[in-house]
Amino acid sequence: MPRLSKGRYAARVAQTPEEVAQAQALRGLAFATATPDVDAFDDICAHVLVHEQKSGTLVCCFRMLVMEGGAEIGRSYSAQFYELSALQDYQGRMVEMGRFCIHPDWKDPDILRVAWGAMTAFVDANQIDMLFGCSSFAGTETDHYLDAFAMLKARHLAPKCWLPRVKAPDVFRYAARLRRKPDARKAMLRMPPLLRTYLMMGGWVSDHAVVDRQMNTLHVFTGLEIGAIPPARKRLLRAVAG
């Protein structure tokens, strides 16, 4: 993926261990872990960094793990938490996007736009057919997000052919438990920005959320088939990526 520069921000793939360490430090800050956030997946992923150009501040980062097809799904980060055998026969190239975070002191919506532009450039450069990962809600209490989960149940569940099954010991089976009609305004206010963008492009989610107490999050498996992205949305993404 070539360097992408838009307005105040520039995105590129990390080239050195020092740059990966900077991403790990930002993740630690964003996830409030008190120390850099490091795991074994860092060594097998490409790390995308978004800097504010004038100050050089690292304001966003995420990592990408490329797979040749569904037969490799078991080596993904998500496979630790979801039973993904339904995706094992997927024939296209896949990429898992993970550890997405934005610096807690930076609120500019252009950061997310540039990050998605960088993701688009990475997907195009690697001829990816499906993008997937875990989309996280802050905290582990579900009550605050009931309208958001009801909206996911009503409109955005994965196709049955790809639906992840339960693997983690602690889950919230929102699709089975919730009977409420979602308040659309409250649902979108509670929806994490990254997940909201996935959904706007035609993304889908698991029918349960994993309660991850180590990371202090609730997360849903999220998939996006590149071919299903509406043409107008693709044009907008590629305008940023180009």
What digits encode the pLDDT tens for the residues 58-90?
999 999 999 999 999 999 999 999 999 999 999
Q: Which of 170, 213, 218, 214 is nearest to 192 (CA)?
A: 218
pLDDT in tens, 188-217: 999 999 999 999 999 999 999 999 998 899
Cα 199 to chain centroid, rounded: 11
Half-sphere exposure of 216 (CA within 13 A, CB side): 7
Do the bridges between strand 130-138 and strand 94-102 make them parallel or antiparallel, or are there none, so unpaired?
parallel
pLDDT in tens, 167-179: 999 999 999 999 9
Task: Confirm if 7 and 110 have CB atoms less than 8 A apart.
Answer: yes
User: Rounded distance, CA 217 to CA 195, Å?
Assistant: 14
- Domain 4-241 CATH assignment equals 3.40.50.2020: no
User: Rounded distance, CA 126 to CA 68, Å?
Assistant: 10
pLDDT above 80: residue 107: yes
pLDDT value of position 33 = 85
pLDDT above 90: residue 142: yes
pTM for this structure? 0.93
Q: Which of 207, 202, 211, 196 is nearest to 153 (CA)?
A: 207
Half-sphere exposure of 228 (CA within 13 A, CB side): 14
